[in-house]
Amino acid sequence: MIRFENVTKRYRGTKRPALSDVDFNVEAGEFVFLVGASGSGKSTCLRLILREDVPTTGRVAVLGRDLRSLANRKVPYFRRQIGSVFQDFRLLPSKTVAQNVAFSLQVIGSSRGFIQQAVPEALALVGLDGKAKRMPHELSGGEQQRVAIARAIVNRPKVLLADEPTGNLDPATSVGIMQLLTRINAGGTTVVMATHEAAFVDQMQRRVIELQNGVMVRDELGGGYGDTSSIPRLQPETVRGAAAAAALTAVQEVQRETAAVPEVRPPDPPAETNRPTRAAEPAASGEPADAGQAPASGDEQASARVPRTNPIILPEVDVAELGMADRLGLSDGDDEEVGPTS
Ligand SMILES: Nc1ncnc2c1ncn2[C@@H]1O[C@H](COP(=O)(O)OP(=O)(O)OP(=O)(O)O)[C@@H](O)[C@H]1O
């Protein structure tokens, strides 16, 4: 279905070829991950499959056609059989969800009847049947990518190319997109997906083609993402000034709380004398009540919750005085370490 024969692609003005002697064959119905570091040549592969570019040497054949001999005027017809989705969705912002999906059918001259039937079907497949009239900006990123997928498959292409389709999405949303692509593949569409998502590649155990600097270094059925040990790890590190910022926040919090506490005055003497008073009322001298007396009644407990002292008045914190700019690492040329240990 997709055949690369000793494909080398050299972009003008570059020293190193983007692809060097790449050779593989994708059969109908396969799900293939293209993996490799940034710049390894994944997108170049997809561009060659879509006939956006041609190899410098070697041959690319898709759906039985040698793309080098495909006349330019026939390229749009050829592309109708290939759906594409990208990291940045590429929706038309002024068209509704349904219009975005319908648009790809209108440009290829599909009949009104077919469009009216195919668009709702595609939106239902991607789980967006209730959102046909929404504008793209009213959707989440995951929903926008679903629209893009609906647009890519509405014409029932034989091949779906996906270039980092989850690159802009959070992990949970990405899982939904991967499930959707798996479902589309299960329906018979060949899927070729370029990705950096090691976890998905490891979990799905599909065919993996790995590129390194344009060279195909692995073609493995049921493979994982591969060796990620060379990828730098993100280590927890001390954030400069974090301790000072936390301390300032805590002080300001206390200030706010104490400022909000009403001044505590001894309660007025009760009109009646038939209730216990000693534990609830401070002594005339202002001394706190003796906690060692008889168990307090409900009233007394409520009274005991009232703060018994005047609020602590803290002076306003002068940020400049604390040298916050320095402590937050915002001043020039100051190497002083301020962190949890200082
Ligand atoms: N139009 C172009 N002109 C010149 N060089 C290009 C062009 N497109 C890509 N390249 C170069 O070809 C190499 C492969 O690029 P490609 O975009 O295929 O890599 P990639 O694996 O898809 O990277 P990423 O994961 O970052 O998308 C890179 O060195 C890149 O700089």
Q: Which atom of ligand 1 is nearest to the CA of 46?
A: 18
Per-residue pLDDT at 252: 85
Which one of 9, 10, 14, 212 would you pick to mutate in the ligand 1 pocket, going by the greatest count of ligand atoms within 8 A of its CB?
14
> Do 169 and 67 share a domain, yes or no?
yes
Q: Considering the chain, what is the average pLDDT of its residues?
A: 81
Average of pLDDT values for 154-173?
94
> Do 67 and 199 share a domain, yes or no?
yes
The reply to whether 95 falls in a domain is yes
Cβ count near 232 (within 10 Å): 5
> Do 26 and 77 share a domain, yes or no?
yes
Alpha carbon of 188 to ligand 1 centroid (Å): 30
Residue 281 has pLDDT above 50, yes or no: no
Sign of CA dihedral 65, 21, 194, 187: positive
Higher pLDDT, 131 or 290: 131
Chain mean position to CA 172: 8
Per-residue pLDDT at 36: 95
Per-residue pLDDT at 231: 67
Which one of 4, 40, 212 would you pick to mutate in the ligand 1 pocket, going by the greatest count of ligand atoms within 8 A of its CB?
40
> Do 214 and 336 share a domain, yes or no?
no
> Do 66 and 106 share a domain, yes or no?
yes
Ligand 1 binding residues, C-beta < 6 A? 11, 14, 18, 36, 38-44
Higher pLDDT, 125 or 288: 125
Domain ranges, residue 332:
239-262+310-342
Last residue of a domain, one of 159, 193, 220: 220
> Do 168 and 246 share a domain, yes or no?
no
Confidence category of residue 86, pLDDT binned at 50, 70, 90? very high
ipTM of the complex in this document: 0.98
> Do 50 and 149 share a domain, yes or no?
yes
Residue for token pair 């219009």:
99
Q: What share of the chain is helix, strand, coil (3-state, %, to 5)?
A: 35, 15, 50
Residue 224 has pLDDT above 60, yes or no: yes
Whole-angstrom distance, CA of residue 189 vs CA of residue 156: 8
Alpha carbon of 332 to ligand 1 centroid (Å): 38
How many distinct structural domains can be found in the chain? 2
